[in-house]
Chains A and B, each alone.
Chain A
């Protein structure tokens, strides 16, 4: 926990200490994540002296740390304390997710299996304790959403889901499935419309709440680069579906929505959990993004154990393929000694598997690029395997 970190963890806490140092309590994106980390950072000052020089951030709109900033951070004599306390909220939320999973399950054998998979799966262990990312906050609120749905507390579930949106925006992908899942086909239409409307209102209001309650920082949100606006190429591409992977994902998500609608006999929670899991399988079949994003994949299949889904083999396949894929499709911050740079900065730039592959294993017919294509196909196949296991009654 205190001996590994990706540069992003430092960037994240540099922003936090900037806000703390300058008493800025303004609106920012992922506001729940930000303020959870801010509270923990404020408390950690009891145990570790915070060096102004280490976390110096002259321009908050350019808050992503450079390698040079990171190298100077690694020289801080309290580096291990920092990393431990940075990840402490992640550990607590990790345990809280385990607690929610335990309470979600009814059968003792399901409880044990689900918590074991949650606590010891390589995806969340890597994302949380090696890479050092806050995914577990969002996962916690999604777990609470599912738990509340199972307990028929639909409005509390909507509230938890809305909070999760302030941890990770990608969760918006699950919103249609949550709304479809709250429909009770035995109830009259007007009642369903009322429930749906209320749920949508809760999500919408909570989503906008920070904008109403928390003052903004100048003309833009804190730590947002003003140049990254709607004129930006990436934004334009996103809204014009310029990314090649967008089309199959949208087709897939529509299919998941149809499945949700057609599974009217199943409970609210089961429909939401299976649909959310399927949505993620569709997403990751076409787009793998960064290594730690795969940790999103873990929660919903674990919860599906409650519905007697057989997920152990698909999980094993996923873990193996995920490791193989990121060994090949790696960069400095993935499965490389860079992550252990807090132990010794000398590890930065000591090489990674792709260079070994190119040197020793690559052949004219199996280049690194081809190997990545093959493993990505296998990753998509593992998603399909998981999906089948979850759809099967």
Chain B
């Protein structure tokens, strides 16, 4: 019932010409299998990965100029019941094909959030550095389960300044633009310490003092291809004010990553304990390398950001962390060819929080690998159990015979 009403309303809107204007019918929109088509220009999200591929108005691709910085999308989204509207619908606009194929390149895309209010047309601002020169675009919808999407047949490009409001619709500034990726090509790349965002740190003369309960650093956008990425190296110095016994010999950290596939996720983060590398007067140095080669194996093509959390020990023991100050000396992305050199400074203990999903096969192989770490003990324990069982069974048989 709900769907029928919506489709009827949308059809009325489209008939009245509110949403579709200034387009030529020289091409057709293609829908992914995540959509179920309702009418010729509307569809419902019914599956995974819903997207629509729309051609640009033919003459605009040719007329693309530096002034035309707005992509106008004739579009309307109707979401289901208000109770389900918990997440903002977000979109990804892919704007470059992989070579001569019909595949869009995930390294070239614009990410944005749709306006929360109703709209009939939206316009997305394009960064000045972006070279948009394609004849079709792909628009993906996220957090849009059971949405009904009405769309025109084409996108068009408008000039940022001069475009009249009714042509442009709601104007959106994307929160992230991917314009290709950074290739390591066999050389380490420094991530300038001054470009990291700080949380619960106070900065004075290049010294970072912890001033809150959740101190962490977020890298600038890295957008690095993971093909050649071996890991990341950090070099930090702690200004020691700790006097208790053995306190400060180690430091716990947690490393989060975000990629084109996932934001920062606790369950996929790495936790590790690092020993002091050296002690220089009032400083303790912590230089360590965290392997990230698993990113490629787990199909993360682009490393976007890193986040380094300074973890406290124990359930409530953040006090010793609160009294610390740090100097952030250096951080760099390390290519595969340098991995041997950096493997020497891997943390003493390193663990992944937990895997995305539990799989029996992985559990069995994981258990076997862990048992194989200490064959000596496993054999001792196994033999002990066997001998004990043998002794008990023999005793039981004998007592039965005598009984």
Binding site for B on A (CB under 8 A): 2, 21-22, 51-54, 56-59, 61-66, 68-69, 71-72, 74-81, 84, 225, 342-350
B-chain residues with CB within 8 Å of residue A79 when the two chains form the complex: 370, 373-374
A15 to chain B, nearest CB (A): 11
Cβ-defined contact, A2 with B381, below 8 A: yes
Q: Which residue of B lies closest to A64 (CB)?
A: B315
Interface string of B342-376 (1 = CB under 8 A from A): 00000011110111001000110011001101100
Beyond the given pairs A53-B250, A72-B349, A78-B373, 13 more chain A to chain B contacts, judged by CB atoms under 8 angstroms and listed by A's residue number, are A52-B250, A53-B349, A57-B314, A59-B314, A59-B319, A64-B316, A65-B315, A66-B313, A69-B252, A79-B374, A80-B374, A345-B354, A350-B358
Q: What CA separation (Å) do A51 and B347 show in the bound complex?
A: 13
Does chain A have a CB within 8 A of B247?
Answer: yes
Residues B245 and A62 in contact, CB atoms below 8 Å apart: no
Task: Take A53-B348, A344-B370 as given contacts and tell me if A71 and B353 are in contact as well, using a CB distance cutoff of 8 Å.
Answer: yes
Bound Cα distance A21, B267 (Å): 33
Partner of A58, one of B248, B275, B373: B248
Can you list 14 A-B contacts (CB < 8 A)?
A51-B348, A53-B250, A56-B273, A58-B320, A62-B317, A64-B316, A68-B252, A68-B254, A71-B271, A72-B272, A77-B374, A80-B378, A346-B355, A348-B354
Q: A56-B250, A343-B367 are in contact. Are A69 and B351 (CB under 8 A)?
A: no
Q: Is A69 a contact of B246 with CB atoms below 8 Å?
A: no
Interface string of B88-114 (1 = CB under 8 A from A): 000000000000000000000000000
- Count contacts on B: residues with CB < 8 A to the other chain: 43
Shortest B353–chain A CB gap in Å is 7
A346 and B374 CA atoms in complex are apart in Å by 19
B185 in the interface (beta carbon within 8 A): no
Q: Tell whether A346 pairs with B363 under 8 Å between CB atoms, given A56-B249, A58-B247.
A: yes
Is B390 close to A, CB under 8 A? no
Contact with A along B237-281 (1 / 0, CB 8 A): 000001011111110101000000000000100011101000000
The interface of chain B, by Cβ under 8 A from chain A, is 242, 244-250, 252, 254, 267, 271-273, 275, 311-317, 319-320, 348-351, 353-355, 358, 362-363, 366-367, 370-371, 373-374, 377-378, 381
Specify which chain B residues have a CB less than 8 angstroms from the CB of A345 in the assembled complex: 351, 354
Give 3 nearest A-B pairs by CB, closest first: A62-B317, A62-B314, A72-B349
Contact between B244 and A66 (Cβ–Cβ < 8 Å)?
no
Assuming A71-B351, A348-B354, is B250 touching A2 (CB within 8 A)? no
Chain A contacts for B363, CB-based, 8 A: 344, 346-347
CB distance from A308 to the nearest CB of B (A): 24
Find chain B residues with CB under 8 A from A22 CB. 245-246
Q: Which residues of A contact B254 (CB under 8 A)?
A: 68
Q: Please tell me if the beta carbons of B314 and A52 are within 8 angstroms of each other in the complex.
A: no
For B374, the chain A residues whose CB sits under 8 A away are 77-81
- In this complex, the member of A54, A68, A75 whose beta carbon has the largest number of chain B beta carbons within 10 angstroms is A68
A72, B351: Cβ atoms closer than 8 Å: yes
**A62 partner residues in chain B, CB cutoff 8 A:** 313-317, 319
In the assembly, what is the distance between CA of A76 and CA of B378, in Å? 15
With contact pairs A52-B249, A53-B348, A58-B313 given, residues A346 and B362 touching in the complex (Cβ less than 8 Å): yes
Chain B residues, CB < 8 A from A77: 373-374
**Bound Cα distance from A2 to B252, whole angstroms:** 26
- From residue B364, how far is it (CB to closest CB) to chain A in Å? 9
A2–B313 CB distance below 8 A: no
Shortest beta-carbon distance from B157 to chain A in Å: 48
Complex: A350 Cα to B271 Cα, angstroms: 19
